[in-house]
Structure 1
Amino acid sequence: MSGKVATPIIREIKDNRDELKTLEDELLSTADAKTQDIIMNYPTVYIHNWKNTDDFEVYVGESNNIFRRTREHYDESTNKTAWQYKLLEKDASLFIIGHEHFNKSLTLDIENRLMHYMMSIDRVKEVHNDRGNPQSKYYTSDEFEEIFRKVWRGLRKRNKDLFPTESAIKDSAIYKASPLHKLTPEQERARDQIIAKVASAINKGKTKQLIFIEGEAGTGKTVLNSSTFYELYCRAEEHKVKINCHLLVNHDEQITVYEQIADKLGLTKEYGKIVSKPTTFINNHSESDPVDVAFIDEAHLLLTQGKQSYRGSNQLKDIIDRARVTVVMFDENQILTTEQYWEAKALEQYRKKAKKNNNYILLDKQLRMHADPATIDWIDSFTKKGELKKIPKSSKYSVKVFDSPKQLDLEIRKKAKDKNSALSRVIATYDWEYSSIHKPEKRLKKYWEVLIDGWHKPWNRELESDLSKKDKKAIKGLSWAEQPQTIGEVGSTFTIQGFDLNYAGVILGPSVKYRNGKIIIDPSCSKNRKAKQNRTLSNGTSKKFGETLIQHEVRVLMTRGVDGLYIYACDKELREALIDASK
């Protein structure tokens, strides 16, 4: 393909009328006929960009007539409320991109991918666009990836600050949660169904409507959530109507990601605080004045018991009471603590209600892991059924077993040095003591650590305290796995849940054992008090759910790797059985 696809034509000019006229005259007088034709008569893609202090703001577009379209933007530059006004204020530049195979559909796809990338770049603080318009099949769609790669490389040659490596972008948490992903047909159908239900509820004045989206880790719930959320705001703006949507998640790092997305798309500036934790939303809204839509990502993290910051007894019910439509993204297999535990009857009540109203959607296609069906089945059998099958050989996905934690750690470090797998980390079941408040006592080391025989490594965000102010500022807003110092520590479910890794190096601690041909869970070896403590049920009885919750913990860890899963087991019998299964 690369031999057949030509190099794109990229021109960069100062972003003003005089420089645009100079480029136009140059193309007409001195450029070769082919270049003149491609820029002046073919569809093109363009990027207006300017610096705001040390960071960038951009506008990405496409046009059948780049000179007319750019002058239209200049005509808008006297409007102080428009992004074009910044072109007068700032030292802006304009990239114009042409290609001999550009047609309308291809330029729309290039525009959408550029917007997606630009929004994921840390130094780009705002993308002044409406939503993208990703295309389906068209004449040159098979050339899109190759042409885009050449476009990006060409832009990167001109400005490495504004155009970082593709691998760095794709590893960012913002990229993975972005509303600008091209959706699968299954996700598109789900989004259309949600939007239709929301429109109906608002038009008919309905309240307390529930849409229940269920899907396991990696089935695209977060992307569907952010895409639908953003699409509703875009459609409201198109029709010049107001809509009041809120996006809720009970996870600190995911909150930061969504806040950054809202900021970069200009939603925060326009609508105020629309991303928050469930408790904050409940405290700031009333049943008498419901919002239009409440989107809940990671709904399995909602509380179903009161605690110090939340005085109610069921966060989902309280949110439903404060919204016309509530859209929940739920995965029962990611419930990790007793305070999040959903009793079967309560959970089924919400499912039944959604199914009865034709508001239940199941996502069952694995989109995260680049694994074949046999490997997915192996992981499912291990994490759900306690069965240890022979590990299948796969060219798509690497499953490796190690007989020492040191070797596993070394292999993950090697992967992390490769720019294509830099997001590789060691993670473990919660089988070692940790406190974010207290320092370890009676220990020579200053860190809480994972200790296995003579091998040890800091555990759960311990290295952040050693960073300089400058380095702490540099990692602000990054997920645990994106922070460079975390290659030197071991993460847990609480640092990695909701995020991806290229390669996941999973240490199965003493709570995961192998006895009589079955994988068993031993809660007595876990240090996760939130999983082990009793749960008071709705009928007043008290019950433990440690085995179920730690089984969920193991599944969360073993489904993080996009390209591979590396395993070390502390339990001797399990380690030997895994090594045997890998032969």
Structure 2
Amino acid sequence: MKDVIIKEFEYNQAGLDELKEKTANGEKNLEESILFEYPTVYIINDDKKDKYRQKYNVYVGETNNIYQRTSQHLKDDIKSREDWELLLKAQQAKMYVVGHEHFNKSMTLDLEDKLMLYMSSVESVKALYNRRTNQQKYYYPHEEAQDIFNSMWNKLNKKNSILFPDMALLQNLAIFKASPFHKLTEEQLFAKEQILTTVKEALKKEETGQLVMVSGEAGAGKTVLMSNIFNELVNGKENLKIHLLVNHDEQVKVYEQISKKLGWGEKAVLKPTTFINNHQKQNAKVDVVFVDEAHLLWTQGKQSYRGKNQLDDLLGLAKVVIIIFDKNQVLNTTQIVEEKKLELLEQKAKESGNFIHLKNQMRMDAEKETIEWIRNLIDEQKVTILRKKDEKYDLQVFDSPYELEENIKKKNKLDVDSDYENGISRMIATYDWEYKAKGTDEDGKPWRVKIGDWEKPWNNQIKRKKRKNKSIAYDMSWAEQPETIEEVGSTYTVQGSDLNYAGVIIGPSVKYRDGKIVFDKEKHANKAALYNRTLSNGKKQSFAEELMRNELNVLLTRGVHGLYIYAVDDELRKVLKKALQY
């Protein structure tokens, strides 16, 4: 297969004239014929300094006639769209035109989507103007598309490494993993059509409270599905009042980055409490509310939230509320949904045909036997024998935290000013060590995970450095910050993130006794998971064991390519090591 052809032009009238000269009648070589007579993809960008960094406004497109399309952008689009006027007025605007002898309409649409996926994840891209998605299924020759894209991106990287950073760097970013431009699976596409149909019907009515419930285990593709639908609706012609809510600080950062790049709107992404307080005060109804990680919604009042149940409040404010819910990721008692209430919610969604369960597991690149072993550990609290070594997924148990740290750092191979060779790998742990957002421990030191003579800072204790690498963002989530390789994170810092290799410290609250994993709440430090919850019938009940099991679920399912475990409890560590018989 021949290589892609890339030509660079000035994005202005002179550049258009140069294009016109190339497309005029006369002799053309093969490269010019492919660029100017075949379908092409193209990138238009300006180039300016924003404080100390390069910042770009970018448009990605595809066309069957590059000259005609460029002429339309320069002469017609500026009359109706401010973004095109900004690109035209930019002093150093450029256009990259990409061609290949195998390009057809379906492939260029596919590559356009891939370009938007990667460019929407580049920190130096301030705004991405083309926000449409045109997902292609099968076409000839679809099997070549990824190789052609890789070749195209690598060539663009050589031309401008700030605008087109290394692909591996982008693939490891949280903003990439939550991008709306990922190609959806058949299961996700079916769910998307179902949700869009529900929204369309609900918008015809003046009623609030239509519930859509999307469930599925960690790694089922729930976030990508939600991001994709939200992006389509927010850029639709209906001009909807629409918001995306998430009650998790690290995920809020990710969605805010996406929102800025794609022009979702200043207040499109909010925390639930902020949204509820503002809209109830103004008695302002909206069309659609999306809630990622809805299992983190509060189901009782707090100082900042005077209501009784955030989901009930949201249903009263929006025509449609679309929630991503996984009861196995609830982490503290303020988020507990009573079993009867949960059954009623599911029933409400099912009766209207709006209960969607995603079955595919897309995070852990592991064999079925490995995933079943991990699920037995979490769900059944049993340690089964795993006799077959997984060639795709690296599962190991270590004798000390020193060994765990050493091996996670090997996988991380971090160079702050360069790149991640194996992506992001981090140490994370059960919440068995004291931590407060402010202050220090009794010794005046940062909060630490201490096991014998081994210790590490615990949860956001290390001061962040500014990056020399201009393609890395300053405001990254905990897992993406290079310094956090020297920390141990908890569920509160890592929930919602992917790690290539997860180094999990199972603390002293998780033990192995009488052939089963048990939870010792006396050794657990997360007070929010320990206190009793007053139920609707007035009785008090402890959910500590359930919440501690959920915590283990969140931690053990973070790793994409591998899971490394150190268990503080001697009996648990021994039985885990014995279980890996390969």
Same fold? TM cut 0.5: yes
Query: Does 1:400 find its partner at 2:401?
Result: no
Q: What is the one-letter code of the residue matched to 2:448?
A: E
Bigger shift: residues 46-55 or 417-426? 417-426
Equivalent residue runs for 1:38-53 within 5 Å: 38-53=34-49
Q: 2:308 aligns with which of 304, 313, 334?
A: 313
Query: Is 1:275 paired with 2:273?
Result: no
Aligned to 1:551: 549
What residue identity is the alignment partner of 2:534? T
**Shift of residue 233, structure 1, vs aligned partner:** 2.4
- Give per-residue Cα distances to partners, 1:453-496, cap 9 Å, x unaligned: 111111101102x646999x975431101101001111010000
2:448·2:458 contact (CA, 8 Å) conserved in 1? Answer: yes
Counterpart of 2:181? 180
Letter in 2 for 1:413: K
- Matched AA of 1:542: K
CA distance in structure 2 between the partners assigned to 1:27 and 1:242 by the alignment: 40
Q: Deviations over 1:393-435 (max 9, x none)?
A: 1111111111111111111111111734221001000111111
Report the residue type matching 2:56 in the other structure. Answer: F
Q: Deviations over 1:329-372 (max 9, x none)?
A: 10000001011111101111111111111111111110111112
What is residue 248 of structure 2 aligned with on the other side?
A: 251
Partner secondary structure for residue 296 of structure 1 = strand
Change (3 A) 1:78 1:343: closer
Contact 1:28–1:36 (CA under 8 A) maintained in structure 2: no
| Aligned AA (1:208) | G
Instruction: Evaluate the alpha carbon distance shift between residue 131 and residue 27 of structure 1 in structure 2; reply closer, same or farther with a 3 A threshold.
Output: closer
Distance 1:519 1:30 in 2: 78
> Match for residue 261 of structure 2?
264
Cα deviation per residue 1:265-291 (whole Å; 9 max; x = unaligned)? 1121xxx41211111111121495421
SS state at 1:551 partner: helix
Q: 2:576 aligns with which of 572, 578, 582?
A: 578
Q: Partners of 1:279 and 1:193 in 2: how far apart?
A: 28
Would you say how many aligned residue pairs link Structure 1 and Structure 2?
569
Q: Is the 8 A contact 2:123 2:472 kept in 1?
A: no
Q: Contact 2:209 / 2:318 at 8 angstroms: preserved in 1?
A: yes
Residue 152 (structure 2) aligns with: 151
- Kept in 2, the 8 Å contact 1:208–1:321? The answer is yes
Contact 2:123–2:473 under 8 Å retained in 1: no
Contact 1:475 1:483 in 2 (8 A): no
User: Following the alignment from structure 1 to structure 2, what is the Cα–Cα distance between the partners of residues 488 and 478?
Assistant: 16
Please tell me whether the aligned partners of residues 466 and 474 of structure 2 are also in contact (alpha carbons under 8 angstroms): no
Hey, what's the Cα distance between the residues in 1 that align with 2:16 and 2:423?
Answer: 41
Q: 1:468 to 1:372 in 2, by over 3 A?
A: closer
Q: 2:533 aligns with which of 517, 535, 540?
A: 535
Aligned to 2:278: 284
How far 1:147 moved relative to its partner?
0.6
Give the aligned residue type for 1:115. Answer: M
The 1:486–1:349 alpha-carbon spacing in structure 2 relative to 1, beyond 3 Å, is same
- What letter corresponds to residue 492 of structure 2 in structure 1? F
Greater Cα shift, 29-38 or 343-352: 29-38
The SS at the match of 1:84 is helix
| TM superposition shift of 1:250 | 0.4
Q: Normalization by structure 2: what TM-score?
A: 0.94
The aligned counterpart of 2:340 is 345
1:303 alignment partner in structure 2: 298
CA positional deviation for 1:144: 0.8
* SS in structure 1 at match of 2:320: strand
**RMSD in angstroms over aligned alpha carbons?**
2.0
Q: In the aligned structure 1, how far is the partner of 2:113 from the partner of 2:8?
A: 20
User: AA paired with 1:281?
Assistant: F
Q: TM-score, normalised by structure 1?
A: 0.94
Aligned twin of 1:142: 143
Mark the runs of 5 or more structure 1 residues left unpaired by the alignment.
Answer: none
Aligned: 1:231 with 2:199? no
1:17 to partner: Cα distance: 2.2
Aligned twin of 2:195: 194
Residues 1:68 and 2:62 aligned together:
no
Distance 1:77 1:343, change over 3 A: closer
In structure 2, the CA distance between the partners of 1:434 and 1:289, relative to structure 1 (3 Å rule), is: closer
C-alpha contact 1:257 1:477 (8 A) present in aligned 2: no
Equivalent residue for 2:494? 496
Q: In the aligned structure 2, how far is the partner of 1:175 from the partner of 1:468? A: 21
Give the equivalent residue in structure 1 for 2:439: 438
Identify if the C-alpha distance between structure 1 residues 363 and 55 changes in structure 2 by more than 3 Å, giving closer, same or farther: same
Residue of structure 2 equivalent to 1:459: 458
Q: Which sits farther off after the overlay, 25-34 or 339-348? A: 25-34
| Contact 2:289–2:322 under 8 Å retained in 1 | yes
| Distance verdict in 2 for CA 1:468–1:12, change over 3 Å | closer
Unaligned runs of 5+ in 2: 415-419
Between the aligned partners of 1:307 and 1:74, the Cα distance in structure 2 is 54
Query: What residue in structure 2 maps to residue 482 of structure 1?
Result: 480
Q: Name the residue aligned to 1:417.
A: 413
